[in-house]
């Protein structure tokens, strides 16, 4: 029997291609004091094709705003904007839960150009 929390419905490859996951470099970060849960507001540079986008991520357990500056992250860039507290999140920064449920960011293990698409 499958654990429904960890499994998902099957999609075809064309559906997967609709999700635009890109790498960007964090250029600004600060605590998001208007969010209901502790989070960090990020400004991420995705290169000339995508531009600079904002996000809010619940990553305060493992990261401080200062250590996020100049770090590359992966994000979904084609979701509609979402209101998070008093700010708008334009992209969804991606992460995984560690053994305690705290978010660890997904990132390339070597530098790649900002805006590079995941495939």
On the question of pLDDT at 3 being above 50, the answer is no
pTM beyond 0.95: no
pLDDT band at 12; cut points 50, 70, 90:
very high
Q: What is the DSSP string of 65-91?
A: HHHHTT-EEEEE-SSPPEEETTEEE-S
Helix (H, G, I), strand (E, B) or coil at 14: helix
The per-residue pLDDT for range 41-84, each reduced to its tens digit, is 999 999 999 999 999 999 999 999 999 999 999 999 999 999 98
Q: Which of 8, 51, 56, 53 is nearest to 32 (CA)?
A: 56
pLDDT for position 29? 98
User: What residue spans of the chain are helical by DSSP H?
Assistant: 13-18, 47-50, 65-68
pLDDT for position 4? 47
Q: Which domains does the chain carry?
A: 13-105 (2.40.50.140)
């Amino acid at each position: 029997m499958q654990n429904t929390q960890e499994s998902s419905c099957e999609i075809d490859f064309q559906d997967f291609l609709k999700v635009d996951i890109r790498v960007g470099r964090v250029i600004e970060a600060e605590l998001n004091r208007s969010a209901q849960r502790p989070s960090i507001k990020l400004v991420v540079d995705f290169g000339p094709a995508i531009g600079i986008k904002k996000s809010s991520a619940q990553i305060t357990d493992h990261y401080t705003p200062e250590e996020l500056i100049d770090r590359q992250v992966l994000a979904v860039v084609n979701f509609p904007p979402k209101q998070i507290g008093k700010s708008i999140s334009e992209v969804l920064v991606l992460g995984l839960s560690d053994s305690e449920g705290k978010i660890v960011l997904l990132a390339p293990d070597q530098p790649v150009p900002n805006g590079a698409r995941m495939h």
